[in-house]
């Protein structure tokens, strides 16, 4: 194959579409096969076995939708879904808003922009496990924020989200935002830099206030950037797992459980593959329900401008 | 040392093949004993095995059984079996045995007269599937202990309780002195285990067996078990200020006198020993919560995956015999803080709490533990229920008991 991969790519007189860029196509065959076998094949296998009563080892002993019945009757799964919704809404709204505002502020040709950008992006260099541990300590009432404020004199100050069942998911969201907004800010900043300087000049000549220019001219022009950002954030929401494990391990009780953790725990800890597969199929389904109509609107239909 | 860490780190994915042309056969043994006392105990096993002319390749997997078991199982099912591996004897490896992946040890057991040596009998029973023996029990760990801090009770000015009821009665005085009455860490298995202990202590042995062995859901939802839930409610109220996760952090609260007591297995004793505390003087142990003095025969066992290599298979036999050797049993269990599986060994150096345990064992007051009676699936559901129950003060007893009965109804 290496002999094929010569730099002579300019066979423009070839009539057949199929053979255009043949080198590239041949080279990508292994990857296509891998993707088909691993992603599509693996998904089909998982869905198939979610209808069985497989325990520790996969077995084709079909029980219909029993696993799904059990799943939706399990309080822990329902709590997980609720948590995912809250976490999802918070991280979607806040990372977009905070990310964009930070980017807009950095875009004001301020001094030390590089320094600020580095500071804001830095948390993204940390893994979720490290982020989770750092915030576990910060939010611990005995030696975290609460302790510091109390030592300053406000002795009745109370801030222990990770130990309070009703707000623990917000404590986790704070850590996720701290880690993730830097990246969103950078993407937004790149988008802002892509806006032609003339547009700003024209807006200024017309006397449009800056906030209006951002809201009604710049943001609509940044649509592709927003879509990229949305996909990145959404993927992060559905797969959230390690952050929860590091911060609370799902506690207190089951108050901060998430679907991905349910899947892992039931597949490996409870040795019940069927139940784990059913849960992961539900996760896939929820992603499909969100992605497919959107992808259809975005990529299907007629091409836009 | 570095070698050991590498082994542990890569055990999950990499085929380890240390077998060379050397005379001694290398046998990789995986386990999850990584804390100080545990590692010292494993070293005793390794030493005894190395003395037979073979070589113990240590495959420690950090992160306790929950993390280690999936790794071990994937290696066995994935066609890369180790020489031997730890499991809690009971039903954790049941399906691996049924799938024919584990080695039948019946011949070695008959030769070594294990049925006569191993005590109590239920240990070997839980290694037996369809009349064949598949594992070697190495120790007995029992959950039935209430560990109390003498310092905490002195500070609160109340006498040391002699059983669970007195302990509950002393709770307000402890709270007044700024002490958490009962330490229960946030890990789900701690809440679930504490409930099982309460079930055996408050409900009694018969109730325990009726629920977990016969899986009588009607009984589990009935008035007798309601009493146990009442006790669990007391425990929940006493534990509400424990802001720690790991069991040893909770034990540490008892060691430092910040908490009055903890319901935890006899492995907690290692923590007291490491902290230099003396049984009877600094801390007190109440087996069966002082109400029903029984010992559950949970514990650890070694399973041997079926191997093709004849040399390694031979080494497996040697290891199986070594594990039950009286000298190995004593050396290992003293370090581990657990009870030996044979009745004919001498444990003079055991401390007070261990001696209490041995006496109960000698009386034959033993019950099987939930690892032996329930599948991992049911165990996990139970953990989910009780970790929620302990963390949520407004969850009603009726609701909790109903959900408990549902789990028992669907248990296998």
Taken in order of first residue, the domains within chain A and their CATH numbers are 1-49 (no CATH), 66-299 (1.10.3720.10)
Cα–Cα distance between B375 and A62 in angstroms, integer? 20
Query: Hey, of A254, A263, A274, which one would you mutate to test binding to chain B, going by the most B CBs within 10 A of its CB?
Result: A254
Cα–Cα distance between A191 and A219 in angstroms, integer? 9
Q: How confident is the model at residue B23 (pLDDT cuts 50, 70, 90)?
A: low
Question: How far apart are the two ends of chain B, measured CA to CA in Å?
Answer: 42
- Kind and range of the H or E run holding B192: helix B188-198
In Å, how far is A180's CA from the nearest CA of chain B?
27
Residues of B in contact with A142 (CB under 8 A): 243
Residues of B in contact with A169 (CB under 8 A): none
Q: Is B381 on the interface with A (CB under 8 A)?
A: yes
Do domains B2-141+299-359 and B145-296+374-410 share one topology? The answer is yes
Q: Is B389 on the interface with A (CB under 8 A)?
A: yes
Cα–Cα distance between A195 and A214 in angstroms, integer? 11
- Residue B8 CA: distances (Å) to CA of B2, B50, B56, B320: 10, 19, 14, 22
Instruction: Provide the ipTM.
Output: 0.79
Of B95, B389, B410, Cβ closest to residue A57: B95
In Å, how far is A136's CA from the nearest CA of chain B?
11
Angle at A195 between CA A194 and CA A201, to 5 degrees: 145
Of A142, A165, A275, Cβ closest to residue B391: A165
Q: What is the pLDDT of residue B1?
A: 43
Q: What is the pLDDT of residue B17?
A: 43
Cα–Cα distance between A21 and B241 in angstroms, integer? 67
**Does residue A6 surpass a pLDDT of 80?**
no
Of B95, B243, B387, Cβ closest to residue A56: B95
Q: What is the pLDDT of residue A2?
A: 44
Q: What is the pLDDT of residue B10?
A: 47
Q: What does the mean pLDDT of chain A come to?
A: 87
**Does residue A305 surpass a pLDDT of 90?**
no
Cα–Cα distance between A256 and A295 in angstroms, integer? 31
In Å, how far is B70's CA from the nearest CA of chain A?
6
Q: For residue A257, give the chain B residue with the closest CA.
A: B384
Cα–Cα distance between B269 and B42 in angstroms, integer? 17
Query: Could you tell me what percent of chain A has a pLDDT over 90?
Result: 45
* pLDDT tens string A162-183: 888 889 999 999 999 999 999 9
Contact check, Cβ <8 Å, A140/B243: yes
In Å, how far is B407's CA from the nearest CA of chain A?
10
How many other CB atoms are there within 10 angstroms of residue B344's CB atom? 10
Q: What is the pLDDT of residue A163?
A: 83
> Do A52 and A46 contact (CB within 8 A), yes or no?
no
Q: What is the pLDDT of residue B350?
A: 74
Contact check, Cβ <8 Å, B186/A140: no
Cβ-based interface (< 8 Å): residues of A facing B = 55-57, 70, 74-76, 140-142, 163, 165, 248-255, 265-266, 268-272, 275
DSSP bridge pairs for B58: B29
Helix or strand or coil: residue B265? coil
Q: Is B327 on the interface with A (CB under 8 A)?
A: no
**Burial degree of B210 (CB within 10 A; 0-12, 13-18, 19+):** buried
Q: What does the mean pLDDT of chain B come to?
A: 87
Greater confidence (B122 vs B12) lies with B122
DSSP bridge pairs for B339: B140
Contact check, Cβ <8 Å, A268/B243: no
Q: What is the pLDDT of residue B233?
A: 95
**Burial degree of B91 (CB within 10 A; 0-12, 13-18, 19+):** buried
Contact check, Cβ <8 Å, B384/A142: no
- Kind and range of the H or E run holding B394: none
* pLDDT tens string B108-155: 999 888 888 887 888 888 888 888 999 999 998 889 999 999 999 999
Of A57, A70, A270, Cβ closest to residue B77: A57
Q: What is the pLDDT of residue B243?
A: 80
Contact check, Cβ <8 Å, B392/A165: yes
Residues of B in contact with A248 (CB under 8 A): 186
B/e letters for B296-333, b = 16+ CB within 10 Å, e = fewer, are bbbbbbbbbbebeeeebbebbbbbbbbbbbeebbbbbb
> Do B288 and B201 contact (CB within 8 A), yes or no?
yes
Contact check, Cβ <8 Å, B392/A142: no
Closest CA to B91 of A148, A81, A272, A140: A272
**Does residue B242 surpass a pLDDT of 90?**
no
Size of interface A-B (CB pairs under 8 A): 78
Q: For residue B100, give the chain A residue with the closest CA.
A: A57
Among A157-161, B174-178, B310-314, the range scoring the smallest mean pLDDT is A157-161
- Residue B280 backbone phi and psi in degrees, to 5: 95, -40
Contact check, Cβ <8 Å, A268/B95: no
Residues of B in contact with A263 (CB under 8 A): none
Report helix angle A113-121 to A75-106, nearest 10: 170
- Residue B409 backbone phi and psi in degrees, to 5: -60, -35
- Residue A137 backbone phi and psi in degrees, to 5: -70, -45
Model's pTM, two decimal places? Answer: 0.82
Question: How far apart are the two ends of chain A, measured CA to CA in Å?
Answer: 40
Contact check, Cβ <8 Å, A253/B392: yes
Q: Is B215 on the interface with A (CB under 8 A)?
A: no
Q: Which fold has domain B145-296+374-410?
A: D-Maltodextrin-Binding Protein; domain 2 (3.40.190)
**Does residue B21 surpass a pLDDT of 60?**
no
Q: What is the pLDDT averaged over residues A108-135? A: 89
Contact check, Cβ <8 Å, A268/B69: yes
> Do B14 and B80 contact (CB within 8 A), yes or no?
no
Cα–Cα distance between A262 and A280 in angstroms, integer? 9
Q: What is the pLDDT of residue A13?
A: 55
User: Any idea where the domains of chain B sit in the sequence?
Assistant: 2-141+299-359, 145-296+374-410
Residues of A in contact with B77 (CB under 8 A): 57
- CATH superfamily, domain B2-141+299-359, is Periplasmic binding protein-like II (3.40.190.10)
- Residue B353 backbone phi and psi in degrees, to 5: -65, -40
> Do B54 and B27 contact (CB within 8 A), yes or no?
yes
* pLDDT tens string B187-228: 888 999 999 999 999 999 999 999 999 999 999 999 999 999
How many other CB atoms are there within 10 angstroms of residue B230's CB atom? 14
Closest CA to A97 of A238, A237, A229, A193: A229
Cβ under 8 Å to A: B residues 85-144: 92, 94-96, 99
- Kind and range of the H or E run holding B137: strand B135-137
- Residue B256 backbone phi and psi in degrees, to 5: -85, 0
Q: Is B186 on the interface with A (CB under 8 A)?
A: yes
Beta strands B300-303 and B283-287, pairing class: unpaired
Q: What is the pLDDT averaged over residues B319-325? A: 92
Residues of A in contact with B390 (CB under 8 A): 253
* pLDDT tens string A11-40: 455 556 777 788 888 999 999 999 999 989
Q: How confident is the model at residue B356 (pLDDT cuts 50, 70, 90)?
A: confident
Rg (CA), chain A: 25
Q: How confident is the model at residue B22 (pLDDT cuts 50, 70, 90)?
A: very low
Cα–Cα distance between B273 and B269 in angstroms, integer? 6
Q: For residue B188, give the chain A residue with the closest CA.
A: A253
Give the start-end residues of each E strand in chain A: none
**Does residue B11 surpass a pLDDT of 60?**
no
CB-side exposure of A237: number of CA atoms within 13 Å?
A: 25
**Does residue B15 surpass a pLDDT of 50?**
no
Q: What is the pLDDT averaged over residues B397-401? A: 94
> Do A80 and A279 contact (CB within 8 A), yes or no?
no
Among A256-260, B240-244, B286-290, the range scoring the smallest mean pLDDT is B240-244
Cβ-Cβ contacts under 8 Å for A117 (sequence gap 6 or more): A106, A185, A186, A189
Q: Where are the alpha helices (DSSP H) in A36-167?
A: 42-49, 66-72, 75-106, 113-121, 128-138, 145-151
Cβ-Cβ contacts under 8 Å for B194 (sequence gap 6 or more): B184, B232, B235, B263, B386
CA dihedral for B311, B317, B319, B325, sign (positive or negative): negative
Strands lying side by side in the sheet with B145-149: B180-182, B259-263, B145-149, B283-287
Q: What is the pLDDT of residue B408?
A: 94
Helix or strand or coil: residue B129? strand
Four-CA torsion B241, B244, B248, B249, nearest 10 degrees: -90
């Amino acid at each position: 194959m290496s002999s094929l991969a010569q730099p002579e790519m300019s066979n423009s007189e070839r009539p057949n579409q199929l053979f255009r860029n043949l080198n590239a196509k041949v080279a990508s065959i292994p990857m296509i096969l891998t993707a088909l076998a691993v992603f599509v094949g693996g998904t089909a296998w998982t869905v198939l076995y979610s209808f069985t009563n497989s325990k520790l080892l996969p077995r084709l002993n079909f029980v219909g939708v029993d696993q799904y019945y059990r799943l939706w009757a399990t309080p822990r799964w329902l709590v997980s879904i609720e948590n995912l919704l809250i976490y999802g809404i918070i991280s979607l709204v806040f990372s977009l808003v905070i990310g964009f505002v930070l980017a807009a502020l950095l875009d004001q040709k301020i001094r030390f922009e590089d320094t600020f950008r580095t500071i804001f992006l830095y948390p993204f260099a940390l893994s979720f496990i490290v982020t989770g541990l750092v915030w576990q300590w910060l939010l611990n009432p005995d030696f975290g924020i609460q302790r510091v404020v109390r030592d300053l004199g406000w002795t009745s100050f109370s801030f222990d989200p990770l130990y309070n069942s009703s707000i623990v998911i917000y404590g986790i969201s704070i850590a996720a935002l701290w880690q993730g907004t830097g990246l969103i800010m950078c993407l937004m900043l790149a988008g802002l830099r892509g806006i032609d300087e003339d547009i700003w000049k024209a807006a200024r000549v017309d006397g449009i206030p800056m906030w209006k220019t951002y809201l009604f001219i710049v943001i609509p022009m940044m649509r592709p950037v927003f879509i990229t950002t949305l996909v990145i954030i959404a993927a992060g929401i559905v797969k959230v797992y390690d952050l929860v494990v590091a911060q609370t391990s799902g506690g207190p009780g089951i108050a901060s459980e998430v679907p991905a953790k349910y899947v892992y725990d039931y597949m490996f800890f409870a040795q019940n593959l069927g139940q784990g597969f059913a849960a992961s199929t539900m996760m896939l389904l929820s992603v499909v329900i969100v992605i497919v109509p959107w992808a259809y609107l975005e990529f299907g239909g007629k091409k836009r401008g | 040392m570095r070698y050991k860490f590498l082994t542990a780190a890569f055990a999950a994915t990499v085929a380890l093949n240390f077998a060379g042309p050397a005379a001694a056969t290398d046998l990789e043994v995986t386990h999850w004993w990584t804390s100080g006392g545990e590692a010292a105990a494993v070293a005793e096993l390794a030493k005894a095995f190395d003395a037979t002319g073979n070589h113990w390749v240590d495959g420690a997997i950090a992160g306790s059984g929950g993390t280690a078991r999936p790794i071990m199982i994937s290696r066995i099912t994935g066609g890369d079996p180790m020489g031997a591996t730890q499991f809690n004897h009971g039903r954790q490896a049941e399906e691996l045995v049924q799938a024919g992946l584990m080695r039948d040890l019946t011949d070695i057991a008959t030769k070594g007269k294990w049925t006569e040596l191993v005590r109590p009998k239920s240990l070997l029973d839980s290694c037996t599937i369809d009349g064949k023996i598949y594992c070697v029990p190495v120790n007995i760990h029992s959950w039935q202990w209430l560990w109390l801090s003498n310092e905490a009770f002195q500070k609160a000015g109340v006498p040391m309780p002699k059983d669970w009821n007195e302990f509950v009665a002393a709770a307000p005085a402890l709270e007044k002195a700024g002490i958490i009455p009962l330490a229960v860490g946030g890990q789900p298995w701690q809440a679930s285990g504490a409930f099982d202990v309460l079930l055996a202590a408050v409900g009694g042995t018969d109730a325990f067996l009726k629920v977990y062995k016969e899986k009588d859901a009607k009984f589990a939802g009935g008035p007798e078990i309601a009493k146990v839930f009442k006790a669990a409610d007391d425990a929940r109220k006493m534990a509400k200020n424990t802001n720690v996760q790991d069991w040893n952090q909770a034990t540490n609260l008892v060691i430092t006198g910040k908490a009055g007591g903890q319901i935890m297995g006899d492995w907690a004793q290692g923590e007291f020993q490491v902290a230099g505390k003396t049984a009877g003087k600094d801390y007190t142990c109440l087996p069966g919560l002082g109400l029903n003095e029984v010992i559950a025969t949970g514990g650890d066992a070694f399973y041997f995956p079926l191997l093709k290599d004849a040399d390694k298979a031979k080494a497996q036999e040697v290891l199986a015999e070594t594990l039950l050797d009286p000298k190995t049993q004593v050396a290992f269990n003293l370090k581990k803080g657990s009870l030996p599986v044979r009745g004919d060994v001498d444990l003079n150096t055991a401390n007070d709490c261990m001696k209490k345990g041995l006496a109960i064992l000698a009386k034959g007051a033993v019950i099987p533990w939930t690892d032996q009676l329930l599948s991992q699936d049911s165990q996990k559901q139970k953990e989910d229920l009780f970790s929620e129950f302990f963390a949520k003060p407004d969850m009603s007893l009726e609701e909790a008991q109903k959900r408990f009965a549902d789990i028992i109804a669907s248990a296998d």
